Amino acid sequence: MDVAGQLAERRSLELVPENTDEWRAAIRKDWRKLANAPQELATDREFILSVLRSDGLAMQFVPFDLREDYELVLAAVKQNWLALDHVPSSVLGNREIVLEGIKQNWQALTRGAEELRGDPQLMLEAVRRDGSGQALTFARKELYDDRKLMFEAVRLNGLLFEYASEVLRADKDLAKLAVTRNGLTLGMTPYELRADRELVLEAVRQNYCALDYASEELRADIDVIHEGMKQSGLALKYASEKLRSDKRLVMEAVKDNWKALEFAAEDLKVDRDLMKEAERQRRVRNKLSMGGFQRPQPRATS
């Protein structure tokens, strides 16, 4: 459209409709004109309903007595959850209306009445829509003891295990789900679970640094330490004093990462074999970081 056409269209929008039919057409074209609509149309419930179904934000121009109309509010929120910003507090306590908003955006929960934050179904829907964990911070504290809600939250984000009640953090099934999502959540469990070999191994497989939270007994378990060393030789840092005095184990760690020698027992830090291997690994790493090794080139084919 050329400039002249755009100006003509703008002037047509600025013209004040002369009759009801023109007002209807103008509002359907631009819902903001509802702000100046004649009383006859502004109170026409069926017409208002059709406008809200097209754009829920038109709720801000609906007469106040109609903003408590369940059907009108529900239609507006279904179209745009932000319509909740333009309804009275008496409506914000309606569970179905707020749930409809949450289905679009979890932040609709923050517009609803305070008591709705203790509704397990609403919170479950909000947590599913959010995924980051922010929605869970708005829940009533009693819901942190709701097993179904917390399982869903932890399934989406392991770090949400932090919000679980003390009772649920002692639930091995929930703790196992948490550590498979984020191994460091082992540190949020009670000590008896940190001594659970199965659970600790799950955590270490996800993040070898979870060894930091394992019981002393399990940090002396060579198989548990080996599980961490599959990721990095630096897992030696978390091994018991006895294991850090095991030359064969330290050699394994150093071969993976020369810096692991720092965590060996004092007498092994000056062991000639270990020092030699650490220096060799250090040089290899330096060459790699400087591009000292060239990728093999494919043979030319005739």
pLDDT of residue 302: 39
In the chain, domain spans = 29-91, 224-286
At 72, the pLDDT band (50, 70, 90 cuts) reads: very high
Q: How many CB atoms lie within 10 A of CB 134?
A: 13
Angle at 188 between CA 147 and CA 142, to 5 degrees: 35
pLDDT of residue 209: 97
At 301, the pLDDT band (50, 70, 90 cuts) reads: very low
Residue type, 223: D
pLDDT of residue 15: 61
For the question of whether the overall pTM of this predicted structure is more than 0.95, the answer is no
Segment 245-258 mean pLDDT? 96
From 123, 151, 149, select the one nearest 135 (Cα to Cα).
123
Percent of the chain with pLDDT over 90: 85
Residue type, 120: P
pLDDT of residue 112: 95
Q: How far from the centroid of its chain's Cα atoms is residue 18's Cα?
A: 53
Segment 232-251 mean pLDDT? 97
From 22, 75, 68, 12, select the one nearest 49 (Cα to Cα).
75
Specify the 3-state DSSP secondary structure of 88.
coil
pLDDT at residue 1 is higher than 60: no
Structure tokens given for 126? 């909000």
Rounded Cα gap, residues 281 and 124, in angstroms: 51
pLDDT digits (tens, 9 = 90+) for 119-159: 999 999 999 999 788 999 999 999 999 999 999 999 999 99
Structure tokens given for 31? 């819902």
pLDDT of residue 257: 95
Q: How many CA atoms lie less than 13 Å away from 197 in the CB half-sphere?
A: 8
pLDDT at residue 262 is higher than 60: yes
At 18, the pLDDT band (50, 70, 90 cuts) reads: confident
Rounded Cα gap, residues 50 and 178, in angstroms: 47
pLDDT digits (tens, 9 = 90+) for 118-130: 999 999 999 999 9
Residue type, 20: T
Contact between residue 178 and residue 158 where contact means Cβ atoms under 8 Å apart: yes
pLDDT of residue 132: 83
Segment 97-101 mean pLDDT? 97
Structure tokens given for 228? 């961490």
Residues 6+ apart with CB under 8 A from 160: 127, 133, 136, 150, 153, 154
Structure tokens given for 273? 């074999």
Rounded Cα gap, residues 277 and 261, in angstroms: 10
pLDDT digits (tens, 9 = 90+) for 183-219: 999 999 999 999 999 999 999 999 999 999 999 999 9
Rounded Cα gap, residues 169 and 178, in angstroms: 10
